[in-house]
Amino acid sequence: MSNPIRVTVWNEGRHEKRSPEIAAVYPQGIHGAIAEGLKAHSDFEVRTATLDDPANGLPDDVLHTTDVLIWWGHMAHRDVPDELVDRVQARVLDGMGLIVLHSGHFSKIFRRLMGTNCSLIWREIGEKERVWVTAPGHPIVEGLGPYFEIPHTEMYGEFFDIPQPDELIFISWYPGGEVFRSGCAFYRGRGKVFYFSPGHETFPIYYQPEVRLVLANAVRWAAPVKVVGFRDLRQAPNAKTPLEPVTVGA
């Protein structure tokens, strides 16, 4: 493909540094595993960034050359500067795709874009997750069957305090009885946001083929759409001249 989709995989990157158990699951970091899966696709140009990189990994030149940003965070949401959240939000409203993963439900950027608490219930006993497709015509499920299973996961359950998604792509079921809207798509400005819940750091979930397929599909879906002559959405211009002649009054 002549114009590859430029993907930046951003990861907080703290768990891997502090926990030998998690570093053993993700020796190249969670971002490394996600990037490895995406690099198998020739239509993507993939790079990684972490919270502890200069400018938190997302200086303006990186953000402005990113078509789709993937976000994994958990223990250090508060260390993400508000000015970075402002810049990411502006890029999303301007058309950049954003894929928020797992514990990123509580990230500043996801809560900003949703406008709600984004809270949920959780349980960590390594139970199974069955991820059901609820939008079989959606590009994010291309190549999947009616469901797939993650053998060991952290349970995320309802109520998930988000706005009603524009498109509900997946619902997960757990043996403990809970269900969760595990794949949710939203439109914000010219941009697209996909939340996907699988990806707890102690399990090798980002190596699983179905999960990698979902992420690749989501990148293609979230990539910006080219529009021509579209106005700056930050402005609300007075359209003084009608497109067609208008006769007003008697």
Q: Give the per-residue contact string, 92-111, with Zn ion (x = CB under 5 A; - = no).
A: -----------x--------
Taking CB under 5 A as the criterion, the residue among 15, 31, 200, 212 binding Zn ion is: 200
Q: Which stretch binds Zn ion (CB under 5 A): 17-25, 85-93, 146-154, 238-246?
A: 146-154
CA-derived radius of gyration, the chain: 19
Taking CB under 5 A as the criterion, the residue among 25, 77, 154, 224 binding Zn ion is: 154
Q: What's the CA gap between 155 and 145, in Å, rounded?
A: 22
Q: Which is nearer to Zn ion, 8 or 103 (CB)?
A: 103
Q: What's the CA gap between 35 and 44, in Å, rounded?
A: 10
Q: Scan for tokens 């497109």, then name that residue.
A: 243
Taken as a whole, the chain contains a residue count of 250
Residue 205's Cβ-side half-sphere holds a number of Cα atoms within 13 Å equal to 25
Q: Which is nearer to Zn ion, 140 or 155 (CB)?
A: 155
Min dist CB 103 to Zn ion, Å, is: 5
Q: Which residues, 6+ apart, have CB-to-CB distance to 234 below 8 Å?
A: 93
Give the interface size with Zn ion as a residue count (CB under 5 A): 3
Q: Which is nearer to Zn ion, 44 or 110 (CB)?
A: 110
Q: Which is nearer to Zn ion, 126 or 139 (CB)?
A: 126
Q: What are phi and psi of 127, to 5 degrees?
A: -75, 175
Binding residues for Zn ion, rule: CB under 5 A, are 103, 154, 200
